[in-house]
Amino acid sequence: MNLHPKVRPLWERALALPILTLLMIYKAFHLPTFFFPRDIRNIVRNWDLRMYWVLISSGLNRAFIDQPCEFTVPEDCKPKVVVDPKWRMTEQQIRKFYEDGFIGPLDAFTREEMQNFRNDLLEIEKSTSQTYGFVTPRDRHFENPRLWGYMKHPAITERLAQILGPDLLVWRTQIFHKPPKAPAIQFHQASTFLVEDYQVPALHPKNRDEIFQLTVWIAVDDATHENGCLDFYRGTHDSIKTIKFGGEEGFYNAAYKLEFDRDPSRLVRVPCKSGQFIIFMERCIHGSAPNTTDRHRLAFNLRAIPTNVAVYPGVKKYRSVYNGGKYFLDNWGVVHLRGVDRHKLSRTKELADPSYGKDGLPVRKAA
């Protein structure tokens, strides 16, 4: 079933409204759904009552962008693990991260290292993914030890551990290449990544209101105001917002506007030098402006979770509204980033641990 977020014609809306109302009743009263097709069962299982209500009460003009969740800054902002003093974060820094939703830029790699890597990365981006069988910027760490090596750098893992805890996995990565004159990536947010196909969330945390995922975004090229550095609306990770279908803004293949107060005093632009990174909650509203320059803006990200979060349990494939195409998960798996996986809740993929050279950076290997 195609649940692509867009303005639906009147007849589709007229048809969908009574169906959605019926499904909401099934959800509210926990009625049996075994006789429904799988897509419908997934919707009943995974949509929160608030998701139905926003769609129904707006006549299918508005929707939650993802599974609703709320976040409040915890009393205790002490680091969850003690790490090497080089990577240590203070309680104040962690509190600020919880308040803002992001931290950075932080240093990891040298400009030389990143500039030396960028051609490899551009090649990978253009090639067919061995994991999915088509060209996609998604999950290329499976095939490229050097890319995976950068992701495992302690500057990154030790920061993540202080916020998420000692035992960590990576469930998704992506290359973000913004060539000269590339358009903006509009403001967006996500919680459990139900946003991908509106049927099955990728992530299954015990409690959606806690932080169960962090994104690390690493600048390969300098990211500036002019070529589209990351922009955040500070503090907007307090809740998952609604979207209004249609309008001028486009997010990859979808057209909608995220509904939130665009208070200019909360907008923070975060330029990064080549080799620096930002850690953020995908729930914090973020985007990036168009690249108005003749320079490329190349970056990659990784999404990390504690080992007690299940990813795609029992799921064979998903359809991505944003990166296009059907992603079969036979060759996908979570990858061990740090600590021990005592839970083993998800399909796992073994990747060789990167070897590091004298300079502490992963040694270069062919893809």
Ligand X SMILES: O=C(O)CCC(=O)C(=O)O
Binding site for ligand X (CB under 6 A): 176, 185, 215, 217, 230, 282, 286, 288, 299, 301
Q: CA–CA distance from 203 to each of 196, 208, 247, 311, 334 (Å)?
A: 11, 9, 29, 5, 11
Task: Tell me how far, at minimum, the Cβ of 210 lies from ligand X, in Å.
Answer: 19
**Neighbouring-strand partners of residue 159:** none
Helix spans in the chain (H): 10-28, 38-46, 49-57, 91-100, 111-126, 145-151, 154-164
Task: Tell me how far, at minimum, the Cβ of 32 lies from ligand X, in Å.
Answer: 38
- Asked if 117 and 219 count as a contact pair (C-beta separation under 8 A), the reply is no
Query: With 0-12 CB in 10 A as exposed, 13-18 as middle and 19+ as buried, what is 203?
Result: buried
- Asked if 266 and 236 count as a contact pair (C-beta separation under 8 A), the reply is yes
Task: Tell me how far, at minimum, the Cβ of 85 lies from ligand X, in Å.
Answer: 29
Pick the closer one to ligand X by CB: 192 or 215.
215
Helix spans in 203-306 (H): none
Pick the closer one to ligand X by CB: 77 or 279.
279
Task: Tell me how far, at minimum, the Cβ of 79 lies from ligand X, in Å.
Answer: 24
- CB atoms < 10 A from the CB of 273, how many? 16
Pick the closer one to ligand X by CB: 192 or 288.
288
> Residue 262 and residue 146: Cα distance in Å, rounded?
39
Pick the closer one to ligand X by CB: 55 or 219.
219
Task: Tell me how far, at minimum, the Cβ of 40 lies from ligand X, in Å.
Answer: 30
Pick the closer one to ligand X by CB: 191 or 288.
288
> Residue 92 and residue 89: Cα distance in Å, rounded?
8
> Residue 214 and residue 218: Cα distance in Å, rounded?
13
Pick the closer one to ligand X by CB: 322 or 356.
322
> Residue 199 and residue 43: Cα distance in Å, rounded?
5
> Residue 29 and residue 102: Cα distance in Å, rounded?
39
Question: Concatenated DSSP letters for 11-26?
Answer: HHHHHHHHHHHHHHHH
Task: Tell me how far, at minimum, the Cβ of 126 lies from ligand X, in Å.
Answer: 18
> Residue 211 and residue 64: Cα distance in Å, rounded?
19
Pick the closer one to ligand X by CB: 237 or 286.
286
Pick the closer one to ligand X by CB: 276 or 301.
301
Residues in the chain: 367
Task: Tell me how far, at minimum, the Cβ of 82 lies from ligand X, in Å.
Answer: 28
Question: What is the Cα Rg of the chain in Å?
Answer: 20
Task: Tell me how far, at minimum, the Cβ of 277 lies from ligand X, in Å.
Answer: 11
